[in-house]
Chains A and B, each alone.
Chain A
C-alpha cells in the first residue's frame, strides 16, 4: 500500500519567522521524493508537518486524499526515520523493530516472526537478539528502516538518515534504500542537504530555499535545466557570470558580462527578457580548452590551483576581469595537466550554458 501526499498551500510559522511558505505539491503514491536544500531551509519542518509533529499554520496536508488536520503522528499512515535514528537503547534489536506491532497488541511469537522477516529484508539476518549499541552505524541504519517498515506505513519519511555514515557506507546505503523502497512499494519522502543523495535516489526532487520550494523536477532536469539562480548554484558545481541581457535570438541570449559577451540558452520554464539583469551559468564539465579566439563564449584565464580527484582534474582559474572559474577535465589518459600559473584559453557552447534572472545564490 502506498498513498499519495498532497500539500495545499502549507505555511508554517514560528512567531514572526516563516519556516515554510506556501508549499503546494503532490507526491505520487510509490514515488521516491526528495526535499533538497541547505540547512535551515525549512525541509525538516515540512517533514514534521507531514508526519504530524508540527501543525501547519495555514494550509492542508492530505495523505491518501484524507485531510490530516487533527490526526496525531501516532494515527497517521506515516513512519519517520529520524536523523539520529532514535532507536530505543534499552530494547533488543527485534523489540525495536517490532515495537509498532507491540503497540497494536500483537503476541510475542508473531512479533518475533515479523522482526525476523524484516531483518532478512534489510540484510541483517540473525541479529535480532543483539542490543542496539552492539551494532555498527550501518547496521543501526538498517534497523531503523526495518522498525519504520514494521509499522506498515503507506508513506515513509526519512530525515537525513545517512548523514552520520562515512562516505562508502553512505553510497552503499543509497542503493540499498532505493532497493528497499522498490521492494516495499511505498512512498518515500526523503530530506537531505546532500545533492548526491537526492540525485541518485529520487524520482523527483523539490529544491528548497528559505522556506520556499524553488523547483520540482526529476534529477536530470534539476541539474540540466535549473529554473532559478539558487537551484543552478546549489545543485552541483556551477560557474556564474552576472550581466545584462542585450538580445535574444532563437532561444539564445547574448549577455554583457565583465568577462565579455557570453551566449547562453534561455530557460523555457523561466525565460529572461532583453534588458534584464541576469546570470549566465556554465557547469565546470562544460568548459573546454580553446585553440582559437572566438567572438563569444571565449575566456582567457590563469590557472591558480588544481586538484586531482581520480577520474577528474579540477582546475581553478582566474580571468583577467577577476572572475573565478572552475573547470573539470576528464582524466581520460591523454589529457595534459596544466601547471599553476600558466595561461590558457577556454570556451563553451551556448547550448551548455543557461541564463537565468538575477537572484539569490547558494552560499559557497
Chain B
C-alpha cells in the first residue's frame, strides 16, 4: 500500500495526486458509504422523532429490530400470521423485476448482436443514435406518454379496436402491461451496451466456422455467441434487475391502482408515513435481497464477479 502510494505520488505529482485521492475518497465515503451507514443505523431505531421527540437520546433511544419485525409480521394487532400486504408486494416486486430483466434480455440480445456483428458503418451509427436519442426525453414525460399509449382510451387500444382484433378496450394500465413496458423500455440501453461490448470482440470466424460445420443459427447462438456473451449478459441483467426492483417513478405513474411496487411502500414510510427508521429497514431489506439474489443467480450460471467488469 505504501509502495503504491509512493509510486502514485511520484507519477502524478503531489497536487494532482491529492486531488484524485480526495475526489475518490469523497465519492466513496461521503456519497456511498456514509449515507448507507446512516440508513443502516436508522433502520435499527425507534421513530421517536415523530412519536415522542422528548425520548430521543434518552434511555429509550436504543437499537431495536422493531422495524424489521414490522415488515415481516405487521402491527401487533395484525390477525394474519405475517404482514400479508408488504411481504406479498415485496416478492411480487422481485418476480416482476426478474420478468422485466428477462424481457429486456430477449429484446436486447438480438439488437446487440446485430449492432456488434452484422451492421456496418453508417447503418450501425444510425441505429445507435435512434436508440440513444429517445432517452433525451425525461423519465416522467416518457412515463406519462406510456400512459397515453396504453390507457383505456389510448393509441394501442384505438388501433387494436379499429383493426377488429379487440371488441372492447383492454385496460393495459390496470393489467400492469404499461408498467412492464415502461420499465423494460427505460433500461434497454443498460442491457444492450454491455452485451454489444462483449459480442463485438467475438471473432467473426468463430461464427463462420460453426456455420461451415453445419450449425443452424439457433445452435450458433446457443453454443458460440451466447456463452461468449455471458459476462455482458450478466452485467446487463444485473443492472436492469437492480434498477427495476428499485424503480419508483415508473411504478408510481404506470402501475395499476391495485398493484404496488415495494419502492412505493418505502417511499410512503419516508414521506407520508414520516417514519424514516421503518423506511430505512424496508430499503435495506430490498437492497440485501437483490444483492443476494444476483449473487445466487451468478453462481448458478457460473459467472465470476470479475467477469462483469470486462
Asked if B49 lies at the interface with its beta carbon under 8 angstroms from chain A, I say: no
Q: Which residue of A lies closest to B227 (CB)?
A: A90
Query: CA–CA, A207 to B227, complex, Å?
Result: 41
Q: Chain B binding site: helix, strand, loop or mixed by DSSP? A: helix
Whether A100 touches B214, Cβ cut-off 8 Å, given contacts A86-B209, A90-B228, is: yes
Q: Contact: A72 with B209, CB < 8 Å?
A: no
Whether A73 touches B208, Cβ cut-off 8 Å, given contacts A88-B223, A90-B227, A90-B228, is: yes
Q: Contact: B213 with A82, CB < 8 Å?
A: no
Q: Which residue of B lies closest to A104 (CB)?
A: B214
Distance in Å from the Cβ of A337 to the closest Cβ of chain B?
A: 49
Interchain CB contact (< 8 A) of B213 among A72, A84, A99: A99
Query: CA–CA, A73 to B211, complex, Å?
Result: 7
Q: Contact: B219 with A88, CB < 8 Å?
A: no
Q: Contact: A103 with B219, CB < 8 Å?
A: yes
Q: Contact: A78 with B212, CB < 8 Å?
A: yes
Asked if A147 lies at the interface with its beta carbon under 8 angstroms from chain B, I say: yes
The digit string for B179-219, where 1 denotes a CB below 8 A from any CB of A, is 00000000000000000000000010110111111111001
Q: Which residue of A lies closest to B228 (CB)?
A: A90
Q: Contact: B214 with A82, CB < 8 Å?
A: no
Interchain CB contact (< 8 A) of A84 among B205, B219, B227: B205
| Chain A interfacial residues counted at CB < 8 A | 27
Interchain CB contact (< 8 A) of A72 among B203, B211, B219, B227: B211
Distance in Å from the Cβ of A77 to the closest Cβ of chain B?
A: 10
Query: CA–CA, A80 to B213, complex, Å?
Result: 8
Query: CA–CA, A225 to B180, complex, Å?
Result: 74
Q: Which residues of A contact B216 (CB under 8 A)?
A: 74, 103
Q: Contact: B213 with A86, CB < 8 Å?
A: no
Q: Which residue of A lies closest to B207 (CB)?
A: A86
Residues 280 to 308 of chain B near chain A (Cβ within 8 Å): none
Q: Contact: B211 with A74, CB < 8 Å?
A: yes
Q: Which residues of B contact A151 (CB under 8 A)?
A: 212-214
Interchain CB contact (< 8 A) of B215 among A87, A103, A150: A103
Asked if B224 lies at the interface with its beta carbon under 8 angstroms from chain A, I say: yes
Q: Contact: A88 with B208, CB < 8 Å?
A: no
Distance in Å from the Cβ of B223 to the closest Cβ of chain A?
A: 7
Q: Contact: A79 with B223, CB < 8 Å?
A: no
Residues 236 to 250 of chain B near chain A (Cβ within 8 Å): none
Q: Which residues of A contact B214 (CB under 8 A)?
A: 74-75, 100, 103-104, 151
Residues 97 to 149 of chain A near chain B (Cβ within 8 Å): 99-100, 102-104, 147-148
Q: Which residues of B contact A103 (CB under 8 A)?
A: 213-216, 219
Distance in Å from the Cβ of A93 to the closest Cβ of chain B?
A: 15
Asked if A51 lies at the interface with its beta carbon under 8 angstroms from chain B, I say: yes
Q: Contact: A86 with B227, CB < 8 Å?
A: no
Interchain CB contact (< 8 A) of B208 among A53, A91, A100, A147: A53
Distance in Å from the Cβ of B210 to the closest Cβ of chain A?
A: 7
Ranked 5 nearest A-B pairs via Cβ: A86-B205, A86-B209, A100-B213, A103-B214, A82-B205
